[in-house]
Amino acid sequence: MTSKTSNILWRIIDLVVGGIFVYAGVIKVLDPVQFANDIDNYKSLPWFISVRLALYLPWLEIFCGAAVIFRFLYRGGLSILTALIVVFIGATIAAKMRGLDITCGCFGHASQHWSFAQHLAIDLLLLAAATAALVREHLGLSLSFRPFGGLSRRE
């Protein structure tokens, strides 16, 4: 894969990861009460904290997603989004292990009918993409494979 093709592929990954979080944040901003109820369904936090998170987290997702899309404060935005994905996956698995039936409205009405396995698969793919982009950025690698040289540094 050429360096130009690799850069285009990574740019697409940035747009997808950032776009997903901007979209999810906007959906939550439009209905903060529903999002507070979604957070409360996990039965991990007191209601007053769920309400505060419902008002704060969507804006954090929007700003960090925009940072990834526009590559302004890229590392910070991507780091925060990666941490949010990890926390969400952990909370979802913990809720499932406690027998809670969590209906997540993260992506609007369409995602409310997804199974636990579907949610987990999407979250793990998103985590893999965000982590790969973060590692690439941190190490300064283009992640294009060369037959005898492994990974190459960006030039």
Q: Is residue 136 part of a domain?
A: yes
Q: Is residue 155 part of a domain?
A: no
CB atoms within 10 A of CB 8: 12
Range of the domain at 88: 3-140
Cα(75)–Cα(113) distance, integer angstroms = 33
Q: Is residue 149 part of a domain?
A: no
- This prediction's pTM: 0.82
Q: Is residue 68 part of a domain?
A: yes
Tens digits of residue pLDDT in 43-86 = 889 999 999 999 999 999 999 999 999 999 999 999 999 999 99
- As for how many domains the chain has, the answer is 1
Q: Is residue 29 part of a domain?
A: yes
